[in-house]
Amino acid sequence: MHNADSLAKPSVATPGADRGALFGRLMDIRISFIPLPVYLVLLALVAGLSLTKELKADLPTMVAIIGLGGATCGEIGKRLPFFGKIGGAAIVSAFLPSYLVSVGWVPQDIIAPVTTFTKSSNFIYLFVSSVVVGSIFTMDRNLIIKGFAKIFVPLLVGSVLALFAGVAVGMLCGLELRQVLFFVIVPVMGGGLGEGAIPLSVGYGEILGMDSGKILAQLLPIILLGNLCAILACGALDLLGKRYPQLTGNGRLQRLEVPQDGDKVGVEKETRFDGQTVNQVIAAGMCAITLYLAGVLLHALFGLPGPVCMLFLAVLLKLFNAVPERLEAGAQVLFKFFTTCVTYPLLFANSIAVTHWSELTAAFHVGNVLTIVTTVLTLVLTGLVIARKMGMYPIETAIVNGCHSGLGGTGDIAILTAANRMQLLPFAQISTRIGGAITVMGALLILANLPPV
């Protein structure tokens, strides 16, 4: 009877329980990846530190600032009409901070430490290393063997067609052949800043007897605009994949092959993280750092691009079955963490420290714009068309081809974020780094052997 009476009594919610439930609901509201209460407190703390001139370029402070900035830009971009569906978050994170700096809306107390931290820490390579290792280690060996070999065909065909199409459009717009070829198309497909624009400017300067600094200033807006076009094009490809699911592997490059026993081949392994394997994540992280340093050493010894060396070392480990399943599980969590929580802060930091708005707007000449758009779209459409004949997914192949016009590692990240295909970063690195290196070397050889004007 006592138990029945107690069950019959209506439960009375205590004020403390209501407050706890309210706080829990607020914590479920997120600005990108940051819970709303934490976001507001961080915002107040950063404002207070700025007013007291205590903002420094140390790691905890910078994590707060670029985390806030990246989360804010990502959230704004996702909510933009139309653009939110074709990579608005990546576009806003990569370019809005640069614009705000140009109009003086970002305090110098924030610009200076963010620039110092971004350039001194070089944490983009930590991101690339972790994502590449996470992606490669969790791929199926068959996918790697077939996919890496096949990607060169659409990349080569796309580059040749983009070259001719870009030259035709540029000359129709009144640009001279040398100008449109060497100062518009080649920079777009040259691999970004460090591996593309800088070597090109030095080489052009020596061949033409011009100041390399002035040439670099001319090339920078071209590659920035090319990267923006690639972001928009690959964001649109993501929409196309949602409209026509048969065209996409949702991050898989190689089409599924079903042998007679019914087992699928060429699918990335979906390993699960059970919460008890923190050591596996740490091990995967240390593998990423180890491979990155190995790439740095190979670059110092032989002059090979460090990121490409790191990529091929990771591929070799996978091909020789040197990656145990436990490490694959850790690599998958590492991959998800960096792609979820570090992408937008990275783009935000680079936008403030590296991207100059005046350089971007300098490229908005009608002839330049039409040539760049033609070059990028030809790359993308070639991948889309050739993919079926190569046994690959059209959307993913087109996105990898589009990365050939990316702004190096940062550009690849922005493009793949817009396309929701960060799993393709290893292939994008080949498209950008190797494709860019071949483009730069070929352009310098041709220009050196042309008669002077």
Which of 62, 61, 63, 95 shows the shortest CA–CA distance to 76?
95
pLDDT at 208: 84
pLDDT at 85: 77
Tens-place pLDDT, residues 59-78: 999 999 999 999 999 999 98
pLDDT for 384 beyond 90: yes
Last residue of some domain: 119, 146, 176?
119
Q: Is residue 6 part of a domain?
A: no
Do residues 224 and 287 both lie within one domain? yes
Do residues 52 and 100 both lie within one domain? yes
d(CA 87, CA 422): 13
Do residues 213 and 360 both lie within one domain? yes
Q: Is residue 228 part of a domain?
A: yes
pTM (2 d.p.): 0.76
- Segment among 79-88, 165-174, 323-332 with least mean pLDDT: 79-88
Q: Is residue 11 part of a domain?
A: no
Q: Is residue 1 part of a domain?
A: no
Last residue of some domain: 102, 119, 136?
119
Q: CB of 96 within 8 A of CB of 351? A: yes
Q: CB of 288 within 8 A of CB of 128? A: no
pLDDT for 266 beyond 50: no
Do residues 266 and 400 both lie within one domain? yes
Count: domains in the chain: 2
Do residues 108 and 173 both lie within one domain? no
pLDDT at 19: 63
Phi, psi for 138 (deg, rounded to 5): -100, 5
Tens-place pLDDT, residues 359-375: 778 778 899 999 999 99
Q: Is residue 340 part of a domain?
A: yes
pLDDT at 402: 94
pLDDT at 39: 94
Tens-place pLDDT, residues 122-150: 788 888 888 888 888 887 777 677 767 78
Q: Is residue 267 part of a domain?
A: yes
Residue range of the domain that includes 23: 16-119
Which of 211, 221, 156 shows the shortest CA–CA distance to 434?
156
- Segment among 107-111, 228-232, 273-277, 416-420 with least mean pLDDT: 273-277
pLDDT for 112 beyond 80: yes
pLDDT at 403: 92
pLDDT at 385: 93
Do residues 133 and 85 both lie within one domain? no
Distance in Å from the first CA to the final CA of the chain: 105
Mean pLDDT of 91-111: 91
pLDDT at 432: 84
Do residues 109 and 237 both lie within one domain? no
